[in-house]
Chain A
Amino acid sequence: MERHEFERRALDELSAVYRLAYHLCRDVHEAEELVQEVYVRALKPSNVAGFSPSGGGMRSWLFAICHNVYFTGLERRRRRPVARESFEGDAAAEPPPRDIPTAWGRSTIDWEEVGDELKAAIHELRPEYREVLLMWSVEGLKYREIATIIGVPLGTVMSRLHRARAILAERLARAGSSGLKAPAAMGVALMLGASAAQVLLWGPWGGQG
């Protein structure tokens, strides 16, 4: 591919790359700097020469650079001492998801009402969760494509998505709890619950499963 064409195609993806950068950084200026760095790397002559349109195309390739630049920087920062509160806060921001989300009583969620809550919940997720969420939802990528971009096993992508969605669902359930009908939520749980732990958690009807 000629350099000019390469540059044009790379710059056509600017909005998508910025969107990913923003959701990683959660800050406009940091995201701008990240995108600048991504394009510096992408447009190096050696990279232009080595680029192959196969393997996911330009956007995926730029996403992979964005991922690497961001997490390399993050790792570098993490090696420095951090305040105890921020360290603990990071871990505390991720409650373990319950196996059966109470929000699965779909009819009880008013999606318009919980829109802001959903945005806030996404904003509070860990960056690796936000990253896969974006690729999964906005970009519509398959698990395997995401795994290729971020360089992790397929199972890791599935696990991150699973946990991220569970956290969001839990937040939505709490936000919409005023309208959540307990019997409906329990009904879903009864249908789905199977393990002994779930039986204990959700009541004697779980034994029917």
Chain B
Amino acid sequence: MSRQPLDPEQARRAADGELAEGESVPGSAADAVAFERELRSRVADAMRETPRPGDLRTSVLLHVVSRLEEERDERRARRIPGRRHTLMRGAALLCVLLAGVGIGRFTRVASTYEPPMDYSEDVEESGLGGGLDDFLRERFFDGEEEAPLSYRHLLGECENALAATTAWLGSLPLLACNPDQGVRLVGIGPFPHPGPGRGSLMVYDVEFGWDVERVTVFVEAPSEAPRKREEGRVVSLNAGPRQVLWWVQDGLVYHAVAESFEAAERVVAAMGLGPAISKVPEIPVGGVPK
């Protein structure tokens, strides 16, 4: 009895379940097909495990933030000369039109143009003098809509925030967060602490089933011993009231700001930090206590 020849590629396709309709392989190819199936399984095992860098997720996020911010700045930089060019042309036209009015007046008109502030200047002006509440309001809750507390926004102006924060905190409790707990770090950035102390902020997403609530944790290292805070301190924001948990540990002052206590408490638990000293009560209907 003659044996039907087998095309090796056909045997492989048979092992992979990729034979065309109506195509079949001879029974004598059983060993070959079995070998190829076993090979596939072994190759998968061999390729599945790979050495990984330390905190891949954080490094990728930091890189993405940095690059997207760079590109945004480049786009801005390209636009600004364009605006200036347009302005100059407009000014030249104005010169012609207002020639009779006088050069002095033209100078006053031109001097009203101010190029947009650099973002870092903006941050400095809004954050340094205002303290936590103003900083929150002006940076992250701009207008009626809650501005995205995204890592892009947070990290843009400070590529080295992670390294700097790690350096002065000694370690980052946030990096120990377990994603299985439904709490994940999405951003870290500098927090311009009023006065000579230092500060950083971290942003987490806390999952509640399909919903995700965002929690911002501010860490301050005040130059003096932290003073006792009064009960009932609230943050009143354009986007609505926010609950604040705050606590002191190892000389550092932490504030967790969130829409709900539950989210803030889950972050605290995930960070493995001590219990909060103070809870800010729910905002009463009809008014925001100051």
Contact = CB atoms under 8 A, between A and B. Distances in A.
A89 to B, nearest CB: 23
Interface in A161-179: 161-162, 165-166, 168-169, 172
A141 to B, nearest CB: 10
B50 A105 contact: no
B28 A191 contact: yes
A18 interface: yes
Given A36-B63, A106-B31, A158-B9, A119 B48 contact: no
Interface string B34-76: 1110111111101110111100110110011001100000000
Interface stretch (B10-18, B99-107, B137-145, B274-282): B10-18
Contacts of B6: 191-192, 194
A118 B11 CA distance: 20
A35 B47 contact: no
Contact of A119 (B3, B46, B53): B46
A1 interface: no
Interface residues of B, number: 44
B43 A35 contact: no
A46 B18 CA distance: 37
B48 A35 contact: no
A122 B43 CA distance: 8
Given A23-B50, A39-B63, A209-B2, A158 B56 contact: no
A149 interface: no
Given A19-B50, A192-B5, A136 B16 contact: yes
Interface stretch (A52-60, A72-80, A96-104): A96-104
B3 A209 contact: yes
B64 A118 contact: no
How many residues of A sit at the interface, in one of the four size bands? 35 or more
Contact of A115 (B46, B59, B60): B46
> What does DSSP make chain A's interface, helix, strand, loop or mixed?
helix
A200 interface: no
Contacts of B60: 11, 14, 32, 35-36, 39
Interface of A: 3-4, 8, 11, 14, 18-19, 22-23, 28-29, 31-32, 35-36, 39-40, 43-44, 99-101, 103-107, 109, 111, 115, 118-119, 122, 130, 133-134, 136-138, 142-143, 158, 161-162, 165-166, 168-169, 172, 188, 190-195, 208-209
Given A106-B32, A191-B6, 16 more contacts: A23-B50, A29-B53, A32-B60, A35-B60, A36-B67, A106-B34, A111-B42, A122-B46, A136-B16, A137-B44, A162-B12, A165-B36, A194-B5, A195-B5, A208-B3, A209-B3
